[in-house]
Amino acid sequence: MSFAIPFADRLNNVETSAIRELFKLLGKPGIISFAGGFPDSAMFDVEGIREAANAALNEEPGAALQYGATEGYLPLREQLAAFMASKGAAEVAPEQLIVTTGSQQALDLLGKTLISPGDKVIVEGPTFLATIQCFKLYGAELISAPVDGNGVRTGELERLIEQHKPKFVYLIPTFGNPSGAMLSLERRQKVLEMAVRHDTLIVEDDPYGDLYFGDAPPPSLLALSATVPGSRDRLVHCGSLSKVLSPGLRVGWMVGPADLLAKATMCKQFSDAHTSTFAQATAAQYLKAGRMPATLARVRQVYAARAEAMVQALRSELGDAIDFVPPQGGLFVWARLTGADGRVADGAELARRAIDRGVAFVPGAPFFAADPDHATLRLSFATADEDRIREGIARLAQAL
Amino acid sequence: MSFAIPFADRLNNVETSAIRELFKLLGKPGIISFAGGFPDSAMFDVEGIREAANAALNEEPGAALQYGATEGYLPLREQLAAFMASKGAAEVAPEQLIVTTGSQQALDLLGKTLISPGDKVIVEGPTFLATIQCFKLYGAELISAPVDGNGVRTGELERLIEQHKPKFVYLIPTFGNPSGAMLSLERRQKVLEMAVRHDTLIVEDDPYGDLYFGDAPPPSLLALSATVPGSRDRLVHCGSLSKVLSPGLRVGWMVGPADLLAKATMCKQFSDAHTSTFAQATAAQYLKAGRMPATLARVRQVYAARAEAMVQALRSELGDAIDFVPPQGGLFVWARLTGADGRVADGAELARRAIDRGVAFVPGAPFFAADPDHATLRLSFATADEDRIREGIARLAQAL
């Protein structure tokens, strides 16, 4: 009677993540977690979202609850275009973006639209874990480009583009997950120039760009593309409300060349028909109500203080056992164990010891598509308050 | 400077639909449309959904707006299990279903999880257009099993299973789109038996089963599987709130064998991370509030009257020029032009003429994965009231 499900071959391309196993341990009472990749629920503007949802149901109940266009709900596309314009990308018309079910779906649609089995894609090493798995499911062979404190190293990147002629290059230029690094203005310029020079599509994933602590980061590749002729035709930009407003709405968007958006829309039609119109109408009302600037200011302030607390605690508690570049935005400190004085130099080993001491983080090796650096680790400062952060880092020092 | 996007090979498997072209004409003023496949917005329980959304934000704001489990929001999975139990499928635990972003995503996850390029899948002829395109994007070769007024012809289906050894069989047994047919109890039994006999996975897509006009339909394959040993291990059931509550929430679900759900969950993680928790929490609160039985009763009554109006008008206005089985539920009349007295016998030709007369419907041929029957057409009675239905059918008679 037993029956073996005949799974598709593509499932052989991905393995269950080691991180999943770690997350099972997070339920232990008293654990201080730096492991998550999500914003702090306590900072959601619940009242603003409630008002927006009610406005959507009052003003446009039919549209908010009915099937909608696969490209997205037009009033939201208009608000998102205005939101991007407020951040320097002034030339994006509402028709030049499509709404996606979180920016995760933008990655999925890029995979479906662009990747044939065996195609090469260049990503940063390290990069977002779900990007690696998403592209691998479509059969991509991933090439890893090294990063430093200023983001991807453009000389190396260009060499890899020449060598591998990838379908596209996927970057998180601003406060990347997990690296937290910020690509310098000079390197941004170079990336756009090499896109044109080598006829290579660049994907800019930008969920964290609004979460800066001091000065605003350099313009996004999208904003900067206006100054590099031809680069806009070779650029895809993915945005998201998940880190700044609410992940639960699942509202992201994708800007790109018209023919790419047309194919991605066709693929989306057969993926989920469209993103929840209720969530889209709610997001549109929220943006229209003008609440976003105050929300962003509040979120930046809280995360900046938490980042500072973590940086200070790491320096005073761990000293030369750890090496990192203080983040200028985002949710993460990306660090490297030095092994100084014979202390633990393996992230996975430290993660196991840390759990026993009551603190959790994610080892860095799984974030590499190739050649993992086992000494790395990712610490999120987003969800614990400053006292808990200091306590958690003290526990980490004990584990070390 | 011009740049040709290097699209994936899989896009060659699908063509832009002829129906899309037709839909562009629907904007003409005064058109009566029987072309849509959606419920009537006027029947949405806006007040109930508003209360549910507010309850979600009052009682569980963190969960409703935060990232959630890929498998779905547990309170919704519990409510959906109870909803299915109320319809006869009493043995589905909340852990035995996953929430999907509309049932369209369930189709996409089945494609991703099961279909390798070249694999065969049996569908009904005719079947849901977006199913055909969705599975083709994963490289499926579709085999078409004939249907009659009692649903798929099981003798033919078993012969095709033996001949093609498909990855799975996809059926809409109850008031299918576009056929409107209801699979008889006897045939349901046979389908489950042949699933076991031939070790074949059966997918039951059931978005319309709640929309019956007189007696309730026979039990779903899911409910009936309790009586056919081994069949439950070879059965996937897809449900949706789109046709009965609101498509805009994008809340569907999938019941299936545990190992299939595990793989589908992994694929969903890289497709959209999870379905909007805000929409899920709203749906959970709606179901918990006990509003669904009254909503279903109202929807059934309105659609039953519209179906009856269309059936009567078709008989009196078109007479022997058209042949159809009166629907017992769902949203559609599926009809066949007989060509009697030399009148139009081609659905696409009639669709073009009908637009000029001010009435729209969808020709049937595109709904066939193979061997299209060009004499067929699909008429939706869901969105026009009874007077408009009579007027629209009168116009159709003139076009004929």
Asked if B273 and B234 touch (Cβ cutoff 8 Å), the reply is no
Query: Does the CB of A335 have a partner CB in chain B at under 8 Å?
Result: no
Domain for residue B176, yes or no? yes
Six-digit token string for B26 = 């629907």
Q: What is the pLDDT along chain A (400 residues), one digit of tens a residue?
A: 578 999 999 999 987 665 666 666 666 788 999 998 899 999 999 999 999 999 999 999 999 999 999 999 999 999 999 999 999 998 899 999 999 999 999 999 999 999 999 999 999 999 999 999 999 999 999 999 999 999 999 999 999 999 999 999 999 999 999 999 999 999 999 999 999 999 999 999 999 999 999 999 999 999 999 999 999 999 999 999 999 999 999 999 999 999 999 999 999 999 999 999 999 999 999 999 999 999 999 999 999 999 999 999 999 999 999 999 999 999 999 999 999 999 999 999 999 999 999 999 999 999 999 999 999 999 999 999 999 999 999 999 999 9
On whether both B221 and B115 belong to a single domain, the answer is yes
CA B193 and chain centroid, separation: 24
On whether both B146 and B225 belong to a single domain, the answer is yes
Query: Does the CB of A12 have a partner CB in chain B at under 8 Å?
Result: no
Please give the ipTM for the structure prediction.
Answer: 0.96
On whether both A139 and A284 belong to a single domain, the answer is yes
Instruction: Name the domain boundary from B273, B291, B309.
Output: B291
Of A233, A265, A219, A229, the closest CA to residue A106 belongs to A265
Q: Do A105 and B272 touch (CB under 8 A)?
A: yes
On whether both B80 and B30 belong to a single domain, the answer is no
On whether both B280 and B311 belong to a single domain, the answer is no
Q: Do B8 and A115 touch (CB under 8 A)?
A: yes
Contacting residues for A44 by C-beta, under 8 A, at least 6 apart:
A245, A246, B61, B62, B65, B66
CA A59 and chain centroid, separation: 33
Query: Does the CB of B38 have a partner CB in chain A at under 8 Å?
Result: yes
Query: Does the CB of A322 have a partner CB in chain B at under 8 Å?
Result: no
Region B68-89 average pLDDT? 96
pLDDT value at residue B301 = 97
Return the ∠ at Cα B107 (arms to B103 and B112), rounded to 5°: 140
Nearest CA in chain B to A196: B1
Write the pLDDT tens digit of every residue in A236-270: 999 999 999 999 999 999 999 999 999 999 999 99
Domain for residue B179, yes or no? yes
On whether both B194 and B266 belong to a single domain, the answer is yes
Query: Does the CB of A105 have a partner CB in chain B at under 8 Å?
Result: yes
Helices (runs of H) and strands (runs of E) counted in chain A: 14, 14
Domain for residue B4, yes or no? no
User: Which residues 120-159 of B are in CB contact (within 8 Å) with A?
Assistant: 130, 133-134, 137-138
Of A5, A41, A119, the CB nearest to B259: A5
Q: What are phi and psi of B146, to 5 degrees?
A: -70, 150
Nearest CA in chain B to A20: B266
Query: Does the CB of B10 have a partner CB in chain A at under 8 Å?
Result: yes
Q: Could you give the CA distance from residue B180 to residue B331 in angstroms, rounded to a whole number?
A: 7
Write the pLDDT tens digit of every residue in A171-221: 999 999 999 999 999 999 999 999 999 999 999 999 999 999 999 999 999
Domain for residue A377, yes or no? yes
Calculate how close chain B gets to A328, using CA atoms only, in Å. 24
On whether both B154 and B248 belong to a single domain, the answer is yes
Q: Could you give the CA distance from residue B75 to residue A111 in angstroms, rounded to a whole number?
A: 32
- Map residue B380 onto helix, strand or coil: strand
- What's the per-residue H, E or C state across B295-335? HHHHHHHHHHHHHHHHHHHHHHHHHHHEEECCCCECCEEEE
Q: What is the CATH number of the domain that holds B376?
A: 3.90.1150.10
On whether both A252 and A340 belong to a single domain, the answer is no
Write the pLDDT tens digit of every residue in B29-50: 889 999 988 999 999 999 999 9
List, as one string, the DSSP characters of A364-389.
SGGG-SSS--TTEEEEE-SSS-HHHH
Helices A347-357 and A386-399 sit at what angle, rounded to 10 degrees?
120
Q: What is the CATH number of the domain that holds B253?
A: 3.40.640.10
Residues of the domain holding A201 = 48-290
Q: What are phi and psi of A330, to 5 degrees?
A: 85, -155
Of B5, B65, B274, the CB nearest to A201: B5
What is the biggest distance separating any 2 CA atoms in chain B, rounded to whole angstroms?
Answer: 66
Calculate how close chain A gets to B151, using CA atoms only, in Å. 24
Domain for residue A267, yes or no? yes
Of B16, B112, B249, the CB nearest to A278: B249
Q: Do B248 and A10 touch (CB under 8 A)?
A: no
Asked if B175 and B181 touch (Cβ cutoff 8 Å), the reply is yes
Chain A interface, mutation test: which of B272, B274, B277, B380, most A Cβ atoms within 10 Å?
A: B272
Chain B interface, mutation test: which of A23, A128, A250, A285, most B Cβ atoms within 10 Å?
A: A250
Q: Where are the beta strands (DSSP E) in chain A?
A: 32-33, 97-101, 120-125, 141-148, 151-152, 168-171, 201-205, 235-240, 251-255, 322-324, 332-337, 359-360, 362-363, 376-380
Q: Could you give the CA distance from residue B202 to residue B256 in angstroms, rounded to a whole number?
A: 10
Domain for residue A1, yes or no? no
Instruction: Name the domain boundary from B230, B262, B291.
Output: B291
Within 8 A of A42 by CB-CB distance, chain B residues are 62
Q: Do B272 and A104 touch (CB under 8 A)?
A: yes
On whether both B235 and B324 belong to a single domain, the answer is no
Domain for residue B350, yes or no? yes
On whether both B124 and B246 belong to a single domain, the answer is yes
- Rounded CA Rg of chain B: 21
DSSP, res A178: T
**Identity of the residue numbered B199:** D
Instruction: Name the domain boundary from A290, A307, A323.
Output: A290
Q: Do B7 and A114 touch (CB under 8 A)?
A: yes
Q: Could you give the CA distance from residue A246 to residue B33 in angstroms, rounded to a whole number?
A: 38
List, as one string, the DSSP characters of A83-114.
HHHHTT-TT--GGGEEEEEHHHHHHHHHHHHH
Asked if B153 and B124 touch (Cβ cutoff 8 Å), the reply is no
DSSP, res A177: T
On whether both B133 and B34 belong to a single domain, the answer is no
On whether both A149 and A202 belong to a single domain, the answer is yes
Nearest CA in chain B to A62: B41
Q: How many domains does chain B have?
A: 2
- Helix (H) or strand (E) holding B142, with range, is strand B141-148
Calculate how close chain B gets to A130, using CA atoms only, in Å. 6
Chain B interface, mutation test: which of A142, A271, A282, most B Cβ atoms within 10 Å?
A: A271
Calculate how close chain B gets to A108, using CA atoms only, in Å. 5
Q: Could you give the CA distance from residue A135 to residue A125 in angstroms, rounded to a whole number?
A: 15
Q: 């390197």: which residue's tokens?
A: A187
Cβ pairs bridging A and B (under 8 Å): 249
Domain for residue B329, yes or no? yes
Bridge partners, A237 (sequence order): A204, A255
Of B102, B259, B277, the CB nearest to A272: B102
Within 8 A of B39 by CB-CB distance, chain A residues are 66
